Structure 1
Amino acid sequence: MTAIIRLAWQSLLNRKSTALLTLLTVAISVTLLLGVEKVRTQAKSSFANTISSTDLIVGSRSGQVNLLLYSVFRIGNATNNIGWDSYQAISQHPSVKWAIPISLGDSHRGFRVIGTNHAYFEHYRYGDKQPLTFQQGEAFDRVFETVLGADVAKSLGYQLDDEIIIAHGLSDQAFNRHDNLPFRVVGILAPTGTPVDRSVHVSLAAIEAIHIGWESGAKLGKTADPNNLNSEQLAPKQITAFMLGLKSRIQTFALQRYINTYKKEPLSAIMPGLALHELWGMMSVAEQALLVVSGFVVVAGLLGMLTSLLTSLNERRREMAILRAMGAKPRHVFSLLICEACALVAFGSLLGIGLLYLLLWLGQPLIQNHFGLLINITPLSVYEWRLIGFVQLAGLLVGAIPAIRAYRYSLSDGMTMRM
């Protein structure tokens, strides 16, 4: 068997160009197959780890997926705001342990600005009930102070005591910046691998202050004077959503029903876990389509290998005949072709795995910056190794086709010149 393996290796070296092209075809196929699977599982993990220990998320009346996306993942916009009175009434409900208000709608150089209060830093959890921690500084205490997520500080090169300007709306342009009201950086959060890293956090009072004199996205009146603001001007009037932690999870459904039938204004209360489950259900068709496409790419790669082996087989009929003349039996010729096919798939798979990790290493910061998803570079899972095993098995079956043809070649057929 060792002689057969050595002979197969020498045969591949003698056909370097063809073997290399086949190798690259298999490698790219495996890279795409594993890449789709890894991005799919890592994206799910990243989404699932974004929020933890939050029992309900409350927003204006809308679908639960939409509410989850804009309140937690900073994707999209709310259909409407919530009155501050409604937030206070619900947050003081006997079953509520803590509440985190969130006000969205502004931005800073492509990053979302979140108006909130100290409850955010105290009660917000991600991953496995992990709290937010500060890499530098502390939470804001004054109106025009801000806490940056780790990615914001890193991408824009901010340090403590730097000043930033917040823009009205999601488009950061010169005409919609609150440039008369700069914010001072007082804290930078430690990395979390969630949208928190890409957020600029300010107080709810600051959100009210920067919008004095603004109506419908335009500066129509006199803006705020930072040295002459009173508590009445800074009192919140509306927020975008709020998160609730309950004293007992048994009360979740009762409170959800109470909020969904709230009489003062139309509200929706969702459970993050159920909303995520619905989101995965909506994405399942796209996931299956991607897996099918990547599967077809693998099939195309293996068919390319089959074509290469069959083409080379016609050119190697005399080689097979010489091997038979030197004492090689039909099974040896069969084993030679099988070994070549298996070697091409095995080395192609290894090359594909290496290419996958190279692309993940290069693309990880780009994916995180543009989509807010942290794709961790982890070892291949058991399922991914199974996919590699299926590819190897498919390569073995594909390699058996030219091997069977070579097995049937006779000595005289190989020695006879065909005109």
Structure 2
Amino acid sequence: MNLLFIAWRNFRYRALSSFLTTLSLTLGVGLVVMVMAIYGIISEAFVRNASVGYNLVVGPRGSALQLTLNSVYYLSQPIENLPFTEYMEFFPKEERAAMVKQFGGDPALGERDGEYAGFVAGGYAIPLALGDYFGEFRAVGTTTDFFEKLRHGPDVDQPFEFREGRAFESFSTENSYFEAVLGSRVAAQMGIEVGDMMNPTHGDPEGKGHGQGFRVVGIMAPTGTPNDRAVFVNLEGFYLLEGHAKPIPEGAIVVPPEDDGNGSGEKLLTIPEREVTSILVRNGNLMFAPGMQNRVNESGRAQAAAPIGEINKLMSLIVGPLMKALLAITLITCIVAAVGVLVAIYNSMNDRKRDIAVMRALGARRGSVTMVILFESLIIAVVGGVAGWVLAHVAIFGAGTFIEQQTGVQVGLLSVSEFEWLLLPFVIALSLVAGVVPAWAAYRTDVGTNLAA
């Protein structure tokens, strides 16, 4: 009779014991697979979302990682704000002069090129103003360049698209300073549609609500980036909200802005009253990025951080070690399950000593008896390992919608992590090692004594 068939018959004969032993191994394997999958999802989400077209984020001096998390992922809290004049340093004198003319300020600002204008020529500098919330979501003040110049996707070449409506306008007509665009997740979770009003709160989700609201003019199509969970408002409207104007320093030269002639009736903040939280920068030539980063950091006024570099540091220094520790714990769970295999099969040996003695008396060799026991361990390992893998992937697939909403990462039933293929051989080897002790006990079974018993 085939030895593997005999082992399978023994496995089925001890149904309850075999089921419980296999279940413990299934749960251990499932935990390991899920930890590997979670680590892969987190890594892909952070690294992919750090590849957003711009190569530097400029903000106040402090933690470069906090600046990245705040400006790229809309996590953490802003370090501080930069004066609007720091944002103007990325533009040539013609554009700086136009800003002075439009907003009002010291005319001398428009008489020279910005300090970093040469680095950005052919690229862009997009301001962000943070600090308000809409529910649990960040309200981000920015310009239309955000929608026109930024790209996303695996190759960072996909423009933003709108599921409904449009982007807000650059210049005001009638109340268009108070227009907003919602990320896809914000619209779905808050139940907001184009044409509705949204009122941001100041400082935190439970903060004081601003009296002035924004009309939703567009809802973005899903991008799989943090932009899905943000509200974007016209920067000019953001400045006009209560408490957002910076006091004008004493002795500052402020020439009033010229009338824009659009009939909006809104008096825009002057340059000394304006601040930005951070600036998204793409160099015209990416080879200039290190030089510009050094120049900004040496200025003493601001800092420049490379998002991809900061996220790699986060993954290697914080997230990676935590996930490795969790993986080690789950591997220990597999080892404990393997010990359970050893104990279950070894304890069953007392019930099968006579059966083994009969097999030996009928001509079975010691090696054949030993192989039957090892085959039992192999069956438990294969059934438990495959069942654990399937169970984990079904669970991940079932949570696929939630995972995609939270991270932007799409997971399929057969999505596997980098080292997942090594798990089943590891479990099989572990179970075979666990089967050595009961197999040795079967090998040493005394035929005469057990037949007489």
- Fold match by TM threshold 0.5: yes
**Distance (Å, rounded) in 1 between the aligned partners of 2:447 and 2:29:** 38
AA aligned opposite 2:233: V
**Distance (Å, rounded) in 2 between the aligned partners of 1:48 and 1:33:** 23
Matched-pair contact (CA < 8 Å) for 1:164–1:182: yes
Matched-pair contact (CA < 8 Å) for 1:208–1:233: no
**Distance (Å, rounded) in 1 between the aligned partners of 2:193 and 2:400:** 24
SS of corresponding position for 1:125: coil
1:39 matched residue in structure 2: 38
Taking a change above 3 Å as real, the CA distance of residues 104 and 330 of structure 1, as seen in their structure-2 partners, is same
**Distance (Å, rounded) in 2 between the aligned partners of 1:120 and 1:245:** 12
Taking a change above 3 Å as real, the CA distance of residues 234 and 248 of structure 1, as seen in their structure-2 partners, is closer
SS of corresponding position for 1:206: helix
2:303 matched residue in structure 1: 268
> Which of 132, 140, 144 is residue 114 of structure 1 equivalent to?
140
1:59 matched residue in structure 2: 59
**Residue 187 (structure 1) aligned with residue 215 (structure 2):** no
TM-score w.r.t. the length of structure 2 is: 0.82
**Residue 167 (structure 1) aligned with residue 191 (structure 2):** no
**Distance (Å, rounded) in 2 between the aligned partners of 1:343 and 1:311:** 17
2:156 matched residue in structure 1: 129
1:272-326 per-position Cα deviation (integer Å, ceiling 9, x unaligned):
2221221122123223212221221111111111111111122221222222233
Taking a change above 3 Å as real, the CA distance of residues 116 and 322 of structure 1, as seen in their structure-2 partners, is same
SS of corresponding position for 2:435: helix
1:19 matched residue in structure 2: 18
1:78 positional shift: 1.8
Taking a change above 3 Å as real, the CA distance of residues 413 and 234 of structure 1, as seen in their structure-2 partners, is farther
AA aligned opposite 1:137: G
1:62-73 paired onto structure 2 within 5 Å: 62-73=62-73
1:177 matched residue in structure 2: 209
**Distance (Å, rounded) in 2 between the aligned partners of 1:187 and 1:409:** 79
1:390 matched residue in structure 2: 426
Taking a change above 3 Å as real, the CA distance of residues 269 and 214 of structure 1, as seen in their structure-2 partners, is closer
Matched-pair contact (CA < 8 Å) for 1:57–1:243: yes
2:48 matched residue in structure 1: 49
Matched-pair contact (CA < 8 Å) for 1:91–1:98: no
1:224 matched residue in structure 2: none
Where structure 1 has 5 or more consecutive residues not aligned to the other structure, the ranges are 217-226
**Residue 277 (structure 1) aligned with residue 307 (structure 2):** no
Count of residues paired in the alignment? 401
**Distance (Å, rounded) in 2 between the aligned partners of 1:181 and 1:168:** 12
SS of corresponding position for 1:146: strand
Runs of 4+ in 1 over 6 A off after TM superposition: 213-216, 233-236
Taking a change above 3 Å as real, the CA distance of residues 62 and 26 of structure 1, as seen in their structure-2 partners, is same
Matched-pair contact (CA < 8 Å) for 1:320–1:333: yes
Q: RMSD across aligned C-alpha pairs, in angstroms?
A: 2.5
1:293 matched residue in structure 2: 329
Taking a change above 3 Å as real, the CA distance of residues 414 and 145 of structure 1, as seen in their structure-2 partners, is farther
- Judge which range, 79-88 or 275-284, deviates more: 275-284
SS of corresponding position for 1:130: coil
1:213 positional shift: 7.9
AA aligned opposite 1:211: E
AA aligned opposite 1:56: L
Matched-pair contact (CA < 8 Å) for 1:205–1:236: no
**Residue 346 (structure 1) aligned with residue 346 (structure 2):** no
Matched-pair contact (CA < 8 Å) for 2:180–2:216: yes
TM-score w.r.t. the length of structure 1 is: 0.88
- The share of aligned pairs that are identical, in percent, is 27
1:251 matched residue in structure 2: 288
1:72-83 paired onto structure 2 within 5 Å: 72-83=72-83
Matched-pair contact (CA < 8 Å) for 2:180–2:218: yes
AA aligned opposite 1:103: A
**Residue 205 (structure 1) aligned with residue 236 (structure 2):** yes
2:131 matched residue in structure 1: 105
